[in-house]
Amino acid sequence: MLVIEQRVHTRNLSRGIFLKARLFHGLEASGWRMKFSLLKAEVEIEADTETYIEIARKLKAANVVVKPTRLRLPSPKVASPGLNKPVLSQPSIITTNQMKALYCQDAPEVKVATPSCHSPGAILPDLPHPTDNDTDKNNGLSKEASSADTQAWLTRHRFAQHAATFSNFCGADLLRLSRDDIIQICGLADGIRLYNALHAKRIEPRLTVYVCASGSNIYSALYLDAYAASELLIKLKGLLHSAAAKECDTVLVSGPNGARVRLTDELVRHLPDSSTYKLEHVENSLLLSPTN
C-alpha cells in the first residue's frame, strides 16, 4: 500500500476564513487494478467564533478530525492614514495544494507513477532482522495467545509504546480489530505497521529438499530461503558427524550417466522442489545422489 499525505491550504478573503487540511490517502494495487481511499482527514480552522462553530459542526458530521486552533476575535477598525492610497484587487479565494508519499509497501507487480516515497524506516525504527531463535518473526500473532503473550509479542515487534494500551487484550481480541480501528488507536504509521504485523504470513521457503545421510533410512528436510549453494552446503554439513565431512567445501550432484556436477547457485535454482537425495562423503567432497 502507498500512503500519500495531501496538504491543502484555502483562504477565503471575503469571509475571513483560513482552512488548513491534511488528507491521508491509501492507494492499494492488485494486478492492474488500483483502489484509492481516504484514510484520515484533519482540518484546522481560523475564523470568527460563529463561522468556526458552523464549519466544525459540518466537518465532524462527515467524520473529519477538527484540530483545535485559536478563534479569530473581531478587532476594532482603525482609520487608515492613506485615504488616497490605491487598493490592489485580490482574489477572494486562494488555494494551495501539496502532496507527498508517507509510506510505501512493496508491490513489485504494479508500477505507479508517484513521487518517490520514504521507506517505513524513515518514519519508524526498522524491525529487527529475524534470527533462528525467533520462531514467530515471520508469523502473525496467534489467536490463542494470552494477554501476557500478547504483551511479549508487541515488545518483540517494536510496539512496546502501545503495550499499555493493549494490556488487557489477548491474541483473539487484538486480531478482531479492523485496520481502521488500529489506525485510530495507534495513529496512521504505527497502525498500518501493527496491522500488517498481526496478519503477516509465514515466509515460504524457496526450495525444499529431503536428504538421507549414508547408512541411514531417515530423511531430513532442508529448507532453503535462497537459491544459494553456500546455504545448502551448511545444512548438509549439519547432517554429517565426521570431522572430515564437516571440513568439505565442495558439493557434487550425481548427474546423467554417473557424471558428477559441481553444485552452484544456478544448479540449486534448477533442483526440483521436494526432491530426495542420498548424501555421501566421497573423496573430500559431499556427493548428492537422487533417489527414486
As given in the structure block, the three cell numbers for residue 139 are 508469523
| pLDDT tens-digit readout, 118-143 | 333 333 333 333 444 444 444 678 88
Residue type, 78: V
The grid coordinates listed for 239 are 547432517
- Average pLDDT of the residues in 87-111: 51
Q: Phi and psi at residue 161, in whole multiples of 5°? A: -70, -15
Name the residue with higher pLDDT: 115 or 288: 288
Show the cell assigned to 248: 568439505
Nearest of 3, 190, 179, 226 to residue 107 by alpha carbon:
3
Question: What's the distance, CA 156 to chain centroid?
Answer: 16
DSSP H helices, the chain, are: 49-61, 147-156, 171-176, 179-186, 188-198, 229-237, 243-246, 265-269
Task: Supply the mean pLDDT for the chain.
Answer: 75
CATH superfamily placement of domain 121-128+135-198: Transcription Factor, Ets-1 (1.10.150.50)
What pLDDT shows up at residue 30? Answer: 66
Range from 65-74, 80-89, 252-261 carrying the lowest mean pLDDT: 80-89
What's the pLDDT at 95?
54
pLDDT in tens, 180-193: 999 988 999 899 98
C-alpha grid cell, residue 53: 462553530
All 3 cell numbers of residue 76? Answer: 476594532
Domain boundaries, the chain: 2-73+91-104, 121-128+135-198, 207-290
Q: What percent of the chain has pLDDT over 70?
A: 71
pTM of the predicted model as reported, rounded to 2 decimal places: 0.38
CA pair distance 250, 134, nearest whole angstrom? 30
pLDDT at 248 exceeding the cut of 70: yes
Query: Looking at the domain that runs over 207-290, which CATH code has it been given?
Result: 3.10.20
